[in-house]
Chains A and B, each alone.
Chain A
Amino acid sequence: MNAIVFDHVSKDYGDVLAVDDVSLSIEPGKTVALLGPNGAGKSTSINMLLGLLRPSRGTVSVFGRTPRQAVAAGQMGAMLQSGQLIPELSVKELIDLVRKLYPEPLDLDEILKLADLTDLVKRRANKLSGGQSQRVRFALAIAGAPKALLLDEPTAAMDVESRLRFWESMRGYAAGGRTVLFATHYLEEADEHSDRVIVIARGKVVADGTAAQIKADVGGHAVRFTLGEQPAAGLDLLPGVTAVEVAAGTATLRTSDTDATLAGLYRGTTLDVRDLQLSGADLEDAFLALTRES
């Protein structure tokens, strides 16, 4: 049975289509990144998975149940985008409060160790720094030992050091065979910390696979040159070209076959090609190409 299934799910807010006919499934035990620019539908998807939002069409299921049933069974834990703590309570009190709401929670010590909070147990929430609060929120998300952990841009407010520690904590938790889905708009995070990357843009899934597959799919290479005032028409028809971008007089051609594209460029056009550069695409190029195309 899949951990998470979206079956033709759409969600609209009035006229705005936040999630547009998304179908996907995630196997248990995987760590999956939901990668997309702001407003792509990441948070909406996560809130639907938690039963906080209802899909307008389609169904979402978690371990074969509805999201509300999975939540009631204590199978879900999450770090949502906004979420403050109760200022008057200590770290231990907050974690204990959430632990005791779940049927089979983790041990307090284990939570503290995973979230790197052992030194802060007695600290009141209003005396915590931003990064420390995030760690507490991570602790609350894992406190109930949920089988599915959802993280909505968990590192948004963290500095580099905190980020490193955070991903280490996340790996520690995922290592127990749990399913983790995290939303991010940082490419490196998706690349480094997940088994699979689902790229969404404007509510649609535009790519799905390992980071390496996505790079390859989009057209592994880019051909860049100075176009100047010359017309860009016809560039997209050159052999191998998957996408064309023109910005500030520079044309970038994404291509799956550099040789064919170059041959076409020199023999098939009368363009004056200057400052020619060739590069292998990185995930960032792939990401930009994907989210722009749609």
Chain B
Amino acid sequence: MLYYAKTEALRMLRNRRYIIFVVLFPVVFYLINANIYGDQKDAGGVRMSTYLLVSMAAYGALASSMMSSAVPWAQERQSGWLRQLQITPLPSWAIIVTKLGAAMLLVLPSLLLVSAAAVLQQGVSMPAGQWLPLLLSLWIGTIPFIALGLFIGSLLSADAAQPAAMICMFALSLLGGLWFPIDAIGGTMRTLAHFMPSYHYANLGWNVIAGNGLPMSDVLIVVAWAVVLGGAAAYAYRRATVRA
């Protein structure tokens, strides 16, 4: 199972689309924005270069979660690779759990690269007591999005999963305030943002850098989303692999 997870991760790292959209995009986006707005401060007095670090790391993690789950999974289901695995001794639950684990591993490059860019290029500095909860929450908080990706991949054909995953990813990023701070946008958007798991997810990070620690309400909301989307993914997976 470990080797399976390793090969899963390896194949995505060899996938050009993954590298460009998921690993490079957030870093480049971060560098552009931070160089324009980096010295401004938000309402709470946090430098924008740090605020954007959270936004872009969250965006990268979100994009990675969806990209490495939905489409590859739909393809494997359709192409017969899933059946090839189903006739090995690997139990059925292990397939989907490995997918989740590998997708989580694949979140790390964009998370760490955006952080590295922030430190090296923008001179962002934080005490370890902030870095640790920041990175951990942004890492573990991707579970609901990976579950969403697997849900899409179990439900739709590869052709349909591609746009569906893209739309979900953009909607979650935009409406969750990862591209533009929700405070900078109108009231409707702000209300909408509160319905997005992505907003609460990124809000974990924004609170940490503001020195507030992890807000319990957001943690609970992200956990609730993880349970709901995880349940949906498990249901769709069972449906997709059911023996008629």
Contacts and interface: CB of A to CB of B under 8 A. Distances in A.
Interface stretch (A79-87, A212-220, A285-293): A79-87
Nearest to A73: B89
Contacts of A76: 87
B89 A101 contact: yes
Interface string B232-244: 0000000000011
A203 interface: no
A52 B12 CA distance: 28
Contact of A83 (B4, B79, B244): B79
A246 B15 CA distance: 59
A154 interface: no
Contacts of A54: 243-244
Interface string A66-103: 00000111101110111111111100010011101111
B84 A140 contact: yes
Interface residues of A, number: 34
A82 B79 contact: yes
A80 B84 CA distance: 8
Contacts of B89: 71-74, 101-103, 144
A115 B10 CA distance: 25
B91 interface: yes
A51 interface: yes
B92 to A, nearest CB: 10
B11 A100 contact: no
B15 A78 contact: no
A81 B87 CA distance: 14
A97 B7 contact: yes
A93 B86 contact: no
Nearest to A150: B87
A53 interface: yes
A35 interface: no
Given A97-B7, A102-B88, A84 B81 contact: yes
A13 B7 CA distance: 37
A231 B231 CA distance: 69
A78 B87 CA distance: 7
A98 B14 contact: no
Interface in B56-87: 76, 79-81, 83-87
A86 B7 CA distance: 10
Contacts of A74: 88-89
A50 interface: yes
B3 interface: yes
A97 B79 contact: no
Given A50-B87, A97-B7, A80 B80 contact: yes
Contacts of A86: 7, 11, 76, 81
Contacts of A51: 87, 243
Contacts of A80: 80, 83-84, 87
Nearest to A81: B80
Given A88-B11, A88-B15, A100-B4, A52 B83 contact: yes
Chain A CB within 10 Å, residue with most, of B12, B86, B87, B243: B87
A85 B87 contact: no
B82 to A, nearest CB: 10
A96 B14 contact: no
B120 interface: no
B184 interface: no
Contacts of B15: 88
Contacts of B243: 51-54
Given A52-B86, A89-B10, 13 more contacts: A54-B244, A73-B89, A83-B84, A86-B76, A87-B11, A89-B11, A93-B10, A96-B3, A97-B7, A100-B3, A137-B84, A140-B84, A144-B89
Interface of A: 13, 50-54, 71-74, 76-78, 80-89, 93, 96-98, 100-103, 137, 140, 144
Which 5 pairs across A and B sit closest by C-beta, in order of nearness?
A83-B80, A84-B79, A88-B11, A101-B88, A88-B14
28 contacts: A50-B86, A52-B87, A53-B244, A54-B243, A71-B86, A71-B87, A71-B89, A76-B87, A77-B87, A78-B87, A80-B80, A83-B80, A83-B81, A83-B83, A87-B11, A88-B10, A88-B11, A96-B3, A97-B3, A97-B4, A97-B7, A101-B4, A101-B89, A101-B90, A102-B88, A103-B89, A140-B84, A144-B88
